[in-house]
A and B are shown apart, each in its own frame.
Chain A
């Protein structure tokens, strides 16, 4: 029993303070306003304060913190992308994640499990090798493995997938991990708050005030706030915020659904993804199987669940694990994902001075939480995007310089 828990047993009053203050009335002016109190927005606030000493910052969240996609994803962290810029970026995120529990002094249950992207077809095997080669090139531990090695790591997996789509191999990615998603938002909120950042929940931005191409303030349901720097970190709502400043983006919103089973004793240690079967699955520390699939096929701005999704997913998961027939799905849910044409985020400055964007996160936003916060904080502080995210700039679409992640599109998460 760790000693840190002792105080809870011996003190009469619960000896833990608030994670963050209960801010209700925003000030008239902030050095920067962050729209969106999810992981990304809170991380940006944290790094603004920590790395750049900018603490007069308001985070405006229309619901509750971490209530958007931060709390709806399937918590996978990995960096086995296809382009060097993608791999470098997500690898930097993995590195930050590895030390984040200590840095935020909150146990994020960052659990290194290893990650297999299963290939059922020749062309999938080719993509796996492509990713493995690029990963190796930039120093990330990913390699192509055969069915035997997959079986060794996950003996319960039916390699023939019930005859539906035999597994030919996989991309193994050693750093693949899962983390307690909500806690990431709480941890950043806690430490940002400690450094002076003010976090406002139930606070909705209704318009953004732009004068002569420059941001001068935001209107909220709690009054007007003057500021020269606004960050939009609102996955699922990006087009609505961008409309306020009259910026066009390629982003469309598609729901991404997920579900969990009843808790069971641990048996699945690795994270498994199958592009062909549209399945990704890991077992949480509580013992639930956390499962997801591909994006919904059409645009909806809603977090409704669909039966098609869970029917398809469960059918495929039993192709992989035929014995799960009587394990029960407890709950399904959905998040709204920003989808971009090249499956890469949109980050950095925009044509409106002082309006910064952190968007287009598709299905991979959670894993980027620390690094997006860090790089966006730098972008805001210096009014210049760091090299690491230059290829994610919004103007790449007008320039016909889409990122190469489109090549790996068949496999997400």
Chain B
């Protein structure tokens, strides 16, 4: 059972968390093409590497961003969304 650092609640086993998928920038729905939108909805950056991901700490109801290398499973840092620079 992996450990993960919730930026508010500290280090907890991964069983306390829900994985929320990769954080992805939404294209502007008003200006993007259908193809771009379909790609945004369906396609993923599947290759391994350092990714920004959504994680949710269940007991406290906290969403946050984890920067995790999906090859090594090492988390380099976690922070609340929008507070990247405070981390």
Contacts and interface: CB of A to CB of B under 8 A. Distances in A.
User: Is there any pair of Cβ atoms, one from A and one from B, under 8 angstroms apart in the complex?
Assistant: yes
Interface of A: 238-240, 242-243, 248-253, 297-302, 304, 306-308, 341, 397-400
B86 interface: no
Interface of B: 1-2, 14-15, 18-19, 22, 35, 38-39, 42-48, 51, 53, 70-73
Contacts of A251: 44, 46
Contacts of B15: 308
Contacts of B44: 239, 249-252
B71 A301 contact: yes
The A interface is mostly helix, strand or loop, or mixed, namely: loop
B47 A239 contact: yes
Contacts of A298: 19, 53
8 contacts: A239-B45, A242-B47, A253-B48, A298-B53, A299-B70, A300-B73, A301-B70, A308-B1
Contacts of B70: 253, 299-301
A302 B42 contact: no
Contact of B38 (A242, A302, A304, A400): A400
A397 B1 contact: no
A35 B62 CA distance: 43
Contacts of B14: 308
A243 B45 CA distance: 9
A113 B73 CA distance: 39
> 10 closest A-B pairs (Cβ-Cβ)?
A239-B46, A298-B19, A397-B42, A301-B48, A248-B43, A239-B47, A398-B38, A251-B46, A250-B42, A243-B47
B1 A249 contact: no
A304 B73 contact: yes
A399 B41 CA distance: 11
A238 B45 CA distance: 11
Contact of A249 (B18, B43, B71): B43
Contact of A253 (B38, B46, B53, B72): B46
A398 B38 CA distance: 5
Given A240-B47, A297-B19, 4 more contacts: A242-B47, A253-B48, A302-B72, A308-B14
A229 B23 CA distance: 35
A301 B74 CA distance: 12
A240 B45 CA distance: 10
A400 B38 CA distance: 7
Contacts of B35: 398
Contacts of B18: 297
Most chain A CB within 10 A, of B19, B35, B53, is at B19
A308 B42 CA distance: 29
Contacts of B47: 239-240, 242-243
Given A301-B48, A308-B1, A398 B42 contact: yes
Contacts of A240: 47-48
A400 B42 CA distance: 9
A248 B42 CA distance: 10
Contacts of A341: 42
Nearest to A241: B47
B42 A252 contact: no
A300 B70 CA distance: 5
A401 to B, nearest CB: 11
Contact of A307 (B1, B19, B71): B1
A158 B20 CA distance: 36
Contacts of B42: 250, 341, 397-398
A335 to B, nearest CB: 15
Most chain A CB within 10 A, of B44, B45, B71, is at B44
A248 B1 contact: no
Contacts of A300: 70-71, 73
